[in-house]
Structure 1
Amino acid sequence: MAVTLTDDLNLIYDALFAAFGHQHWWPARTPFEAMIGAILAQNVSWTNAARAVRNLEDAGMLDPHLLAAADTAAIACLIVPSRYYNQKAERIREFSAVYVAEFGADPAAMAAVETGELRERLLALRGFGKETADTILLYACEKPVFVVDAYTRRIFSRYGLLPEGASYDQTQQFFAENLESDAELFNDYHAQIVRLGSTICKKSPLCDRCPIREVRGPLRCAVGRT
């Protein structure tokens, strides 16, 4: 029987899971914390975003009603570790206002909205790109939407499963078409990709440590051959 792309993707996930274990993402205690974390994680490591989240929590500000009513300067001084803190403070305040006004600050009410409709609403918010919107959909609303980042494109283009320069939409479609539509799978698969990309498949990769280098004979990383 011919090996399919679905087989390849499942074998890659299995190899990553065996190497790293379940990643237990997104590292947030509540859906709203995951939403705010998605904004804070824009263009910065999760470590720095997490510090900003904890600052909000320690100040008693990790609350949608308080953030919606807060002055942006008051938010900004708490989220300095996340970088671009003035812009992110505005985005947090505006998102929180929408979350309160349109969803009653209820994550279940937000998650009940049809996925495509909710995604369009999030993308209409200032400063929200596809990765931020999809992170909220997957990790806060538990919708089966595959989150794409730079690690995803780097790893899977090196293995020849995606063309170099593949767009966000092309990459997302590739996973959606070749994996079972399952939020739990998409959740941990993305987390595994982040783990691999941040520790091994870096710009200067450590190919000898890569847990997917021997997934199957025809599947070989272009970098590892050079």
Structure 2
Amino acid sequence: MTEPDSEVRPGLRLSFAGVYEALLEAFGPQHWWPADTPFEVAVGAVLTQNTAWTNVERAIANLKDADCLTPGALLEVPHERLAGLIRPAGYFNVKAGRLRALCEFLVRECPDGDIRHLAPRPTPAVRSDLLRVKGVGEETADSILLYALDHPVFVVDAYTVRIFERLGLLEPGLSYGDVQERFHAALPSERALFNEYHALVVALGKDYCKPRPRCGTCPLRGDCPASGTPD
């Protein structure tokens, strides 16, 4: 668990920029996304769907041990074996199919299947192509864009929605695109900023702003309108 600075900061300016500053002060840099290559980031973005990151780490370790963590090598692995390798990540048959679809896309679109060849292309074009890959939704596509390809897009996840609705900075019922646009409009379009901010949101949501929140030790507790639920 990430342990924040215990100081309460009353009077935090409730804004997207203010929340970022408070979380960075409380948690420090998160050094996210942990991966050795851009392709490993993309694989992790698929595997992390509906599961904890610790499970993804085990699945990726299996892929590394099997020496198949490249698009070409992964496509040579039979479906049943691939599903077994990524079993720790859950939904392993579904995710095996999604990984194969992603690899087929990369082999088709990139020389040697190297995902880095997508990086110079315009963000909307790459995002549109990724969203046409079976099993790649908006959050997965944006994770690949931000963390694998260094494009300045803000990744929206369930933590983002829950935290910022509780803070009163988002109204309920907004679409993924609407939420993302709020962040894009409020913050400089900087890859490093979006990278760090998303990681800080995950740290807060995973350990403090849970469905049943741990408000007593939350670094935003002095300013959150929803604060007060017992640990």
Q: Which TM-score applies when normalising by structure 2? A: 0.90
Structure 1: distance between partners of 2:221 and 2:188: 23
Q: Which of the numbers 9, 17, 22 marks the counterpart of 2:16?
A: 9
In the alignment, which residue of structure 2 is the partner of 1:59?
66
Structure 2: distance between partners of 1:77 and 1:61: 13
In the alignment, which residue of structure 1 is the partner of 2:40?
33
Structure 2: distance between partners of 1:14 and 1:198: 19
Q: Which runs of 4+ in 1 moved over 6 A?
A: none
- Distance change >3 Å, CA 225–CA 44, structure 1 → 2: closer
Contact 2:59-2:89 at 8 Å conserved across structures: yes
The residue type equivalent to 1:64 in the other structure is: P
Deviation at 1:20, TM superposition (A): 1.1
In the alignment, which residue of structure 2 is the partner of 1:121?
129
Contact 1:56-1:62 at 8 Å conserved across structures: yes
In the alignment, which residue of structure 2 is the partner of 1:75?
82
1:94-115 CA-to-partner distances (Å, cap 9, x unmatched) read: 2112112211222331111211
1:156-176 CA-to-partner distances (Å, cap 9, x unmatched) read: 000110012222111101100
In the alignment, which residue of structure 1 is the partner of 2:228?
224
Structure 2: distance between partners of 1:58 and 1:51: 11
Structure 1: distance between partners of 2:143 and 2:27: 21
Show the 5 A alignment for 1:1-226: 8-104=15-111, 105-214=113-222, 219-224=223-228
Contact 2:154-2:198 at 8 Å conserved across structures: yes
1:74 aligns to what SS in structure 2?
helix
- Distance change >3 Å, CA 80–CA 225, structure 1 → 2: closer
How many residues end up aligned between the 2 structures? 218
- Distance change >3 Å, CA 224–CA 108, structure 1 → 2: same
Unaligned runs of 5+ in 2: 1-12
Which structure's relative contact order is higher, taking Cα pairs within 8 Å and 6+ residues apart? 2
Structure 2: distance between partners of 1:55 and 1:221: 44
Unaligned runs of 5+ in 1: none
2:228 aligns to what SS in structure 1?
helix
Aligned alpha-carbon RMSD (Å): 1.8
The residue type equivalent to 1:190 in the other structure is: H
The residue type equivalent to 2:137 in the other structure is: G
Contact 1:157-1:164 at 8 Å conserved across structures: yes
1:77 aligns to what SS in structure 2?
helix
Deviation at 1:223, TM superposition (A): 4.1
Contact 1:31-1:140 at 8 Å conserved across structures: yes
Structure 1: distance between partners of 2:50 and 2:229: 31
